């Protein structure tokens, strides 16, 4: 399956939907719970985030199915492990360390729950998970995007959408922590003493900027670094690039030069 830029951009849109749902609910729940207007809107925003989760994982399933056919079972398992596990393990350990100091959720403290989570055995033994449960499937919108060129496909290939699509996995696991930083900062600034009409946009913008910035760092140094070290290639390669990171035979001289310098054609 050729690399699909619209699908890549859609992955980014889905992760932003989840981020906005989480931080919007936290905004209402911690600062403006007495606002009837926000209280009426929040459930719909939460549903918006649920749709993003389902969409995000349908896209992942679609892409993984093509990867299954491309590699033998052992190579596929190794690549998926190195693609997903480093970030998962890093945030599981981060949660464990922070929870050990804050005692936020005692059921998730101790070496036993930590090992169960790091080995994924919490799925089988009912151990309290340290990561968010992820379920759902929505296929029709994905099919509409990949069916051919159109407005949605064009919008999803813009640079911001492709950037967020690239860091979407790191963003999904990073944003709960950047949200906590923003939430505690807003508490110290006494945000709730101001009308929500004044603070909503700066709050959302601050959450978005911080989450994207930290997620890029996580993506760059934790998500892709081990994968590139072992397999000698980026996770997302250009269609004209071979496995070794060199230009394919049908690439133009200009494209070959750009790929050689680590740039996209």
pLDDT 10s digits, 217-239: 999 999 888 888 888 776 654 43
Does residue 149 surpass a pLDDT of 60? no
**Alpha helices (H) in the chain, listed in sequence order:** 5-31, 36-70, 73-102, 111-118, 122-125, 140-146, 151-156, 159-166, 168-188, 196-218, 224-231, 253-260
Alpha-carbon separation of residue 14 from 8, 18, 71, 156, 232 (angstroms): 10, 7, 27, 11, 29
What does the pLDDT look like over 48-86, one tens digit per residue? 788 888 887 788 777 777 777 777 878 888 887 888 888
Tell me: pLDDT of 141 over 60.
no
Element (H, E) at 32: none
Dihedral over Cα of 121, 123, 129, 132: its sign: positive
Report pLDDT digits (tens) over 125-134: 655 555 543 3
Joined tokens for residue 176: 């709960």
Six token digits for residue 187: 């508490």
The model's pTM? 0.74
């Amino acid at each position: 399956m050729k690399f699909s830029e619209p699908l890549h951009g859609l992955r980014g849109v889905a992760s932003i939907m989840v981020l906005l749902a989480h931080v919007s609910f936290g905004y209402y729940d911690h600062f403006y719970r007495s606002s009837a207007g926000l209280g009426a809107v929040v459930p719909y925003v939460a549903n918006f985030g649920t749709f993003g989760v389902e969409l995000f994982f349908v896209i992942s399933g679609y892409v993984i199915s093509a990867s299954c056919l491309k590699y033998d079972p052992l190579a596929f398992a190794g690549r998926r492990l190195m693609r997903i596990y480093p970030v998962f393990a890093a945030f599981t350990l981060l949660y464990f360390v922070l929870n050990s100091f804050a005692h936020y959720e005692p059921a998730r403290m101790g070496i036993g729950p930590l090992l169960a989570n790091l080995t994924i055995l919490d799925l089988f033994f009912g151990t309290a998970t340290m990561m968010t449960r992820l379920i759902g499937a929505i296929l029709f919108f994905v099919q509409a995007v990949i069916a051919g060129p159109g407005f949605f496909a064009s919008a999803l290939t813009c640079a911001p959408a492709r950037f967020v699509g690239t860091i979407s996995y790191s963003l999904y696991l990073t944003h709960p922590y950047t949200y906590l930083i923003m939430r505690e900062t807003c508490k110290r600034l006494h945000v709730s003493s101001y009308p929500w009409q004044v603070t909503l946009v700066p709050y959302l913008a601050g959450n978005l900027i911080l989450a994207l910035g930290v997620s890029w760092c996580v993506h760059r140094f934790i998500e892709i670094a081990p994968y590139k070290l072992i397999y000698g290639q980026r996770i997302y390669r250009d269609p004209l690039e071979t496995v070794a990171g060199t230009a394919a035979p049908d690439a133009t001289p200009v494209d070959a030069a750009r790929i050689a310098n680590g740039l996209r054609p």
